[in-house]
Amino acid sequence: MRTYPKFYITPKGEKAARRGHPWVYGEEVTKVEGSYENGDLVDVLTAKGKYVGTGFVNDHSKIRVRLLSNNANDKFDEAFWERRLRYAIAYRRVVMPGADFKCCRLIFGEADQFPGLTVDRFNDLLVTQTLSLGIEKRKDLLFPLLVKILRDEGENIKGLYERNDVNIRLKEGLTMGQGFYELPGLNTPSSALTTIVENGLVYEVDVENGQKTGFFLDQKYNRQSVARISKDRHVLDCFTHTGSFGLNAAKGGAASVTAVDISEAAVQMANLNAAKNGVAEIFHAEQADVFELLTKLVAAKDHTYDFVILDPPAFTKSRSTVRNATKGYREINTLAMKLLPRGGFLATCSCSHFMTAELFETMLKEAATEAGVSLRQVEVRQQAPDHPALWNVPETFYLKFYIFQVV
């Protein structure tokens, strides 16, 4: 006999859930039976009362129920959550073997059946971002259990830092904040700085002040693709952040790398990372607005660079801004294509799931036409496999990465 409150949903909601999408929107709920508090587990049923799944409810959110199981026999006890954690860890050990396991995304929200939870590993520190009330109410079970599993498997985890400084938490009725989570039996680290090694390059990561959780792990293998074709090239790395694409290019044998970012703090970190990795002689980061710099270089007909990398922040975070975002993407890509000499290479990407692959590719075709060039496709990639995409959940497909040669 099930005791969870019952949420009856529309045929549309049922269809989406049966296809594996884990979100039930508020307008899809037709009737509720039983009392509950936000963050509780509830059963989702069809209009005829057939079981669909169980998930976290939150009346504050547009996503009223976040499904986490469609198995009516599941018991949501500690053993259940431990199995889920172990599945996620075991998957990363397969797809991120060896040294890569020490800096990777351990949990990617819905893709790992942990609605609204992100966990990144940076060597000896874990960084979490909790965007659902259901997970927030269970973190005192999940976080110590995750650390215990890793430590029992021989991983040297010293602390867990929460990066809950994001506005989306307010939409869930949660407060914003950040800081170390107190783990039982472990002393709280005195510093939020740690060192990682990615693709053989050393980075200092500041999990307290860095963007998102401290470092962008999803481009790990895309950076390797850049390194493979960088030998003897003069590289312009735009929106460099910590310098990671440019540093991989330098490691791949680039003749020179100019890295650009609007943030002076990012520029300083990129130059520090270049020195740390022994490539300061060929790598130089500078503060500049990428749009203005590209416009200036094109106007001057400066063809110094034969490899341009565009890794901008998400220009759109909602459907309503896709049109304006497309203009921004088209502008920088058109400028980059005009800047490159014939035979030069362009690496370009978008990290917004609202900018779909179809929209992005259409934009690239328009940019090539405007620039008066043809594009030879070298490679098409997505996010690294520690950020898995579920085919029944379009929102997990977000990173588009392309390498072209201008011909």
Residue 50 burial (C-beta neighbours within 10 Å; 0-12, 13-18, 19+): exposed
When pLDDT is averaged across residues 358-382 and rounded to a whole number, the result is 97
385 has pLDDT over 80: yes
> How far apart, in Å, do the first and last CA atoms of the chain sit?
67
H/E run at residue 92? helix 78-95
Of 220, 281, 219, the C-alpha closest to 250 is: 281
What does the pLDDT look like over 59-75, one tens digit per residue?
999 999 999 999 999 99
Of 53, 48, 50, 51, the C-alpha closest to 392 is: 53
Domains of the chain in start order, with CATH, are: 6-69 (2.30.130.10), 78-191 (3.30.750.80), 218-406 (3.40.50.150)
264 has pLDDT over 70: yes
CA atoms of 307 and 170, how far apart (whole Å): 41
Specify the range with the lowest mean pLDDT, choosing from 137-141, 318-322, 389-393: 318-322
CB 394 within 8 A of CB 352: no
Tell me whether strands 307-310 and 234-238 are parallel, antiparallel or unpaired: parallel
317 has pLDDT over 70: no
Order of strands across the sheet that contains 117-122: 103-108, 117-122, 125-130, 159-164, 177-181
In this prediction, residue 352 carries a pLDDT of: 85
When pLDDT is averaged across residues 381-401 and rounded to a whole number, the result is 94
Binning pLDDT at 50, 70 and 90, where does residue 272 land?
Answer: very high
Catalytic residue numbers, as ranges: 351
SS3 helix, strand, coil % of the chain, rounded to 5?
Answer: 35, 30, 40
Give long-range contacts, CB 8 A cutoff, 24+ apart: 281-285. 282/250, 282/254, 282/255, 282/256, 282/257, 283/243, 283/246, 283/247, 283/250, 283/256, 283/257, 283/259, 284/256, 284/257, 284/258, 284/259, 285/240, 285/243, 285/246, 285/258, 285/259, 285/260, 285/261
In this prediction, residue 355 carries a pLDDT of: 87
> Encoding tokens for residue 354?
């609202």
370 φ, ψ to 5°?
Answer: -65, -35
When pLDDT is averaged across residues 321-344 and rounded to a whole number, the result is 93
Q: What is the pTM of this model?
A: 0.94
When pLDDT is averaged across residues 248-254 and rounded to a whole number, the result is 98
Neighbours of 370 (CB within 10 A): 15
> Which residues have a Cβ under 8 Å from the Cβ of 103 and sit 6 or more positions away?
121, 122, 123, 196, 197, 198, 215, 217
In this prediction, residue 353 carries a pLDDT of: 82
CA atoms of 142 and 153, how far apart (whole Å): 17
Binning pLDDT at 50, 70 and 90, where does residue 357 land?
Answer: very high
> Encoding tokens for residue 118?
């992100």
- State the chain's mean pLDDT as an integer: 95
303 has pLDDT over 80: yes
315 has pLDDT over 90: no
When pLDDT is averaged across residues 220-246 and rounded to a whole number, the result is 97
When pLDDT is averaged across residues 27-31 and rounded to a whole number, the result is 98
In this prediction, residue 325 carries a pLDDT of: 85
> Encoding tokens for residue 211?
């963007």
Q: What percent of the chain has pLDDT over 90?
A: 91
In this prediction, residue 316 carries a pLDDT of: 65
User: At what angle are helices 244-251 and 264-276 packed, to 10 degrees?
Assistant: 30
> Encoding tokens for residue 177?
């904040």
H/E run at residue 256? strand 256-261
